[in-house]
Amino acid sequence: MQYVTDLIANIEEFPTRWPASFPELRHEQGFWQLYEKARPYSMVHATGFYNAYQSINYLKEANIEGAIVECGCFLGGMTAFMALVRNELRLAHPIYAFDTFEGFPEGSTDSFLGTPVGGPQYAIFREAVQANILKVVGSVDRINLVQGPVELTIPAMPLENIALLRLDTDHYDSTIVELKHYYPRLALGGVLIVDDYGLYNGSRKATDEFLATLQRRPLLNRIDHGIWTGVKPG
C-alpha cells in the first residue's frame, strides 16, 4: 500500500509558490504569514491561497453567513488556511472538509490537460490530516472532517446554508454531485471556487454541464492555470 507522504510532488521549485513572484502583494504581510503556516500541507499555489483569503474577507464584508465547505482537502493545508483566516477575522462559519482520505476511488480516471490519468490510492491518512490542521491552526474547533466518497457523504449531509463552496476533487463523478447537492444551498452572493476547472476535463465538464441548467449563472473568472471562481448571483 502506498502512503500519501511518499508521493507528494515537490512543487517548491515553481515560482507560483514564492512570495517574490507577487510584488503587487508585498504589503499583504497578514496573508503571507498565514500562507507560510499552511503551505507545506497543500499543493495549491499562492494564487489559490490568496483567492481563498480574499474570498473569506469578502464573506465578512458582505455579511454572508453559512458554512465554508471544501470538497477534496488532501493533506488539509487549504482547510487549515481557511480556518486561520476565519479565526483571525473572528467569524463563526463552521468548516466542512470532505475527502476519502485514501485517494481517488479505485478505477477512477480522467484527463489532465488532455492526457489520460488515473487516480492514485493511498493508505488511509485522515489522522495525518487532522494532525496537520491541529499543528497549523492550534485547534480543530468548528472544523469537521467528513470521510468517504462525496457521492455517498454529501447526499447524507444536507447542509442548510453554505457561504463558500470550494471544489477540488478533480473528476466528473464527484464534482457533479457536489454541485447538484451544494450549489443550491450556496447563499446568494456566496463564493464558488472550482480548483481544477482549468486542468481536469471532468471538473470542467461537470461545472459547465451544471451551470448550463441555471437561469442565472455566475461569471467564472480565471485565478490561475487551474482555479476558476465566481459569486452566486442574487
Residue 213's pLDDT band, with cuts at 50, 70 and 90, is very high
Q: Rounded mean pLDDT of the chain?
A: 91
For the stretch 80-118, pLDDT in tens is 999 999 999 999 999 999 999 987 776 566 666 767 666
* CA R_g for the chain: 17
Residue 1's pLDDT band, with cuts at 50, 70 and 90, is very low
According to the model, what pLDDT value does residue 221 have? 98
According to the model, what pLDDT value does residue 12 have? 73
Is the pTM higher than 0.85? The answer reads yes
How far is it, in rounded angstroms, from Cα 189 to Cα 110?
A: 31
Residues whose CB falls within 8 Å of the CB of residue 179, separated by 6 or more in sequence, listed in order: 167, 206, 207, 210, 211
Residue 123's pLDDT band, with cuts at 50, 70 and 90, is confident
Q: How many other C-beta atoms are found inside a 10 Å radius of the C-beta of residue 233?
A: 12
Residues whose CB falls within 8 Å of the CB of residue 184, separated by 6 or more in sequence, listed in order: none
How far is it, in rounded angstroms, from Cα 218 to Cα 211?
A: 8
Q: What is the mean pLDDT of residues 196-216?
A: 96
For the stretch 131-169, pLDDT in tens is 999 999 999 999 999 999 999 999 999 999 999 999 999
Q: Is the pLDDT of residue 4 over 60?
A: no
Q: Per residue, what are the HEC states of 160-186?
A: CCEEEEEECCCCHHHHHHHHHHHHHHE
Show the domains of the chain with their CATH numbers. Answer: 4-232 (3.40.50.150)
Residue 48's pLDDT band, with cuts at 50, 70 and 90, is very high
CA dist list (Å): 155 to 128, 158, 175: 26, 6, 13
Q: Is the pLDDT of residue 7 over 50?
A: no
